[in-house]
Amino acid sequence: MTTGIPGLDIAAAIAAAVVALGGAAALLYRWVRSLRQIARRLGDFLDDWAGVEGRPGVPERPGVMQRLSSLEEKAAVIKHEVRPNSGSSLRDAVDRVDARTAHLDKPE
């Protein structure tokens, strides 16, 4: 479509090209911004998974595997205390107290 005025036709073509390039640039900016957010979140996840070394002003954060190992050790200690064993567990102590006080429940 032409207007019959060559200068106006050129100006319209330039304006259309500028608008198209601006739209493409805006779309590219949004894609790049989205990719940067995804990359930052992925980096945060990997830092949390692997852990972060301590640095001045920031304490060390252990990784998932180190924290899981710590939880397994704590669970083993708890398991030792709630099951009867050699007499040193909490369960053994409760059983001893129960045996000593069993006669208090019987009516005279």
Tens digit of each residue's pLDDT (9 = 90 or more) over 61-72: 999 999 999 999
Report the C-alpha gap between 39 and 12 in whole angstroms.
Answer: 40
pTM comes to 0.55
Asked if 91 contacts 84 with a C-beta cutoff of 8 angstroms, the reply is yes
Site of tokens 């001893």: 96
The band of 99, judged by pLDDT with boundaries at 50, 70 and 90, is confident
Tens digit of each residue's pLDDT (9 = 90 or more) over 3-23: 889 899 999 999 999 999 999
Reply yes or no on whether the pLDDT at 105 is more than 80. no
